[in-house]
Structure 1
Amino acid sequence: MELGEDEAMKNTRSYKYTRLYLTVPLSQGTVIELDKEQSHYLANVMRQKLGASLLVFNGKDGEWLAEISDLQKRSVSLKVKSQTKPQTPEPDLWLAFAPIKKARLDFIAQKATELGVSHLIPTMTNRTIVDRVKSERLDANAAEASEQSERLTVPTIADPIKLSKLLDDWPEDRMIMFCDEDLSGKPAIIALQETLPDHAGKPWALLIGPEGGFDDNERDRIQKHPNTVTVSLGPRVLRADTAALAAISLWQAVLGDWS
Structure 2
Amino acid sequence: MPSHDFRSPRLFVEADLSEGQAVPATPVQANYLLNVMRLGEGDTVLAFNGRDGEWRCDLVKPAKKKLDLLPHERARGQTPPADLHYLFAPLKHARLDYMVQKAVEMGAGVLQPVMTQHVQASRLNIERMRANAVEAAEQCGVLSIPECREPVKFADLIAGWDRSRHLIFCDEREDAESPIDTLRALPQGPLALLIGPEGGFSAEERRALQAAEFVTAISLGPRILRADTAAVAALAVLQASIGDWRGD
TM-score (norm 2): 0.93
2:176·2:222 contact (CA, 8 Å) conserved in 1? Answer: no
> How far off is 1:65 after superposition?
0.4
Partner residue, 1:52: 43
The 1:185–1:94 alpha-carbon spacing in structure 2 relative to 1, beyond 3 Å, is farther
Which of 55, 61, 73 is matched with 1:64 structurally?
55
The runs of 5 or more residues in structure 2 that have no matched partner are none
Q: Equivalents in 2 of 1:54, 1:102: separation in Å?
A: 31
> How far off is 1:71 after superposition?
5.9
> How far off is 1:48 after superposition?
1.5
1:187·1:232 contact (CA, 8 Å) conserved in 2? Answer: yes
Q: State the aligned residue count.
A: 244
Q: Equivalents in 2 of 1:85, 1:37: separation in Å?
A: 25
18-27 vs 70-79, which moves further: 70-79
63-72 vs 203-212, which moves further: 63-72
Q: Deviation digits for residues 145-179 of structure 1, max 9, x if unmatched?
A: 11110111111111111111111221121110111
Which of 227, 244, 252 is matched with 2:231 structurally?
244
Partner residue, 2:243: 256
Counterpart AA for 2:158: L
Which of 169, 173, 176 is matched with 1:182 structurally?
173
Partner residue, 1:4: none
Partner residue, 1:43: 34
Q: Equivalents in 1 of 2:70, 2:155: separation in Å?
A: 48
Q: Equivalents in 2 of 1:227, 1:25: separation in Å?
A: 39
3-state DSSP class of the match of 2:73? strand
Which of 136, 144, 149 is matched with 1:153 structurally?
144
1:70·1:76 contact (CA, 8 Å) conserved in 2? Answer: yes
Q: Deviation digits for residues 197-244 of structure 1, max 9, x if unmatched?
A: xx21x1111011101100110001011122101111111110001111
The 1:249–1:90 alpha-carbon spacing in structure 2 relative to 1, beyond 3 Å, is farther
Partner residue, 1:5: none
Counterpart AA for 2:243: G
Partner residue, 2:130: 139
Partner residue, 2:115: 124
Partner residue, 1:83: 74
> How far off is 1:91 after superposition?
3.5
Q: Equivalents in 1 of 2:240, 2:81: separation in Å?
A: 14
Q: Deviation digits for residues 98-133 of structure 1, max 9, x if unmatched?
A: 111111000001111111111111111100121111
3-state DSSP class of the match of 1:247? helix
224-233 vs 182-191, which moves further: 182-191
The 1:185–1:162 alpha-carbon spacing in structure 2 relative to 1, beyond 3 Å, is farther
1:49·1:71 contact (CA, 8 Å) conserved in 2? Answer: no
Identity %: 41
3-state DSSP class of the match of 2:87? strand
Q: Deviation digits for residues 48-92 of structure 1, max 9, x if unmatched?
A: 100110001111111110011226553211111111111123531
TM-score (norm 1): 0.90
Partner residue, 1:225: 212
The 1:169–1:139 alpha-carbon spacing in structure 2 relative to 1, beyond 3 Å, is same
Partner residue, 2:190: 203
Q: Equivalents in 2 of 1:255, 1:89: separation in Å?
A: 18
2:177·2:221 contact (CA, 8 Å) conserved in 1? Answer: no
The 1:223–1:111 alpha-carbon spacing in structure 2 relative to 1, beyond 3 Å, is same
Partner residue, 1:3: none
The runs of 5 or more residues in structure 1 that have no matched partner are 1-10
Partner residue, 1:22: 13
Counterpart AA for 1:253: A
